[in-house]
Amino acid sequence: MKIGAWLAAAATLALAATTAGAQEIKISHQWRQNTDGRDQATRLFVREVNARDPSIKFRIYPNRSLVSNPTSQIDGLQDGTLEMAVYPLVYATGKVPEFSITIMPGTVGNLEQAMKVKNTPFYDKLQEVCAQNGIRIITWWWTPGGFATKDREIKGPDTVKGLRMRAADPYFELMLKDLGASVQSMPSTEIYPALQSGVLDGLLTSSESFVSMKIFEQTKHATAGGDHTLFMLLQPLVMSKQHWDKLTPAQKKAFDEAATKSEVFFNGLQKEASEKMVETFKKNGNAVRSMTKSEYDAWVDVARTKAWPAFAQNTKQGKELLDLLQAALK
């Protein structure tokens, strides 16, 4: 190549690199700014990335200010029009049924177990499923939760019969239906008006969402806290695979290091969130109880006989994911 042509090519590459470095990475989510832990952890992640690479520009869009329908963020991530989002993968089970593994009842039971399964063959397989569907998990954020109801406390599986429930996932719904409840599918942002209007009698969701969405104003009973949690949900910061693949190895390393920092912070917040939920519900007139070990074991038995086999049968990679998750939890 002649020197002039070489210089022209180098200039073109330099301009492209500058343009890529200056591109603003949009991060979308549905939660309140500076009060919800998912927003706070996102801001910490951004600070940690910028401490390693100040050239990467971010802009955070909280409270559905960029994408009004939280479940549809997957579309923008897949086609590359949205770079990042805090996104419960369970929202995308209509497109990727395997994502139900990220909330499968009776598997991950607490934050310690959730962190145990990171960097295991299960984690690698889940990342593979994500890559097949155009996204990359960046942070390993899990949220514990529980039940809240208007007129009845939830104990064992026999206590949901006749209730209109929101459960967040098809296999939770399948389990509840088998126990005699009816179910309504909706994102967490629709729970409050559904309780207010009588569409719902109760629900399962995260401790963080229970408080930030003021669910306690519409309920009288909660089953949450304690050592046994039926509801554990992966709610990670995810990235469009198109944009992840454009990052340099150094930038990917910066993202991974920032993610690890955010996970320590986020886990601490979730422990506080569980305590705050119990305290807040009690202050607002809700009777709060934790699930006993025998009640939890009864729920796990139902999950093993109903939800797990259906997931393994109905999803192409479900059995492999379920087997890998069980192995990682041993």
For residue 202, the tally of other CB atoms under 10 A from its CB is: 27
- Exposure string of 17-53, with b = 16+ CB inside 10 Å and e = fewer, is eeeeeeeebbbbbbbeeeebbbbbbbbbbbebbeeeb
Does residue 111 have a pLDDT over 90? yes
Q: Give the mean pLDDT of 129-144.
A: 97
Q: Residue 4: what pLDDT?
A: 40
Inter-residue contact 286 to 220 (CB < 8 Å): yes
Distance between CA atoms of residues 233 and 130, nearest Å:
16
Give the residue, 185 or 57, on which the prediction is more confident. 57
Distance between CA atoms of residues 228 and 144, nearest Å:
10
Nearest residue to 75 (alpha-carbon basis) of 92, 58, 62 = 92
Task: Please name the amino acid found at residue 319.
Answer: K
Q: In the structure, what pLDDT confidence band is assigned to residue 22 with cuts at 50, 70 and 90?
A: low
Q: Residue 189: what pLDDT?
A: 82
Which residues have C-beta within 8 Å of that of residue 189, sequence separation ≥ 6? 30, 64, 70, 213
Could you give all domains of the chain from N- to C-terminal order, each with its CATH number? 3-329 (3.40.190.170)
Does residue 123 have a pLDDT over 80? yes
Which residues have C-beta within 8 Å of that of residue 218, sequence separation ≥ 6? 150, 192, 195, 196
Q: Give the mean pLDDT of 261-279.
A: 94
Does residue 15 have a pLDDT over 70? no
Nearest residue to 225 (alpha-carbon basis) of 183, 272, 170 = 272
Q: Computed from CA positions of residues 70, 72, 74, 77, in that sequence, does the dihedral angle turn out positive or negative?
A: negative
Q: Give the mean pLDDT of 325-330.
A: 97
Q: Residue 208: what pLDDT?
A: 87
Indicate the length of the chain as a whole number.
330
Does residue 213 have a pLDDT over 50? yes
Does residue 221 have a pLDDT over 90? yes
Does residue 210 have a pLDDT over 90? yes
For residue 158, the tally of other CB atoms under 10 A from its CB is: 11
The per-residue pLDDT of the chain, averaged, comes to 92
152: Cα separation from own chain's centroid? 27
Q: Residue 187: what pLDDT?
A: 80
Does residue 56 have a pLDDT over 70? yes
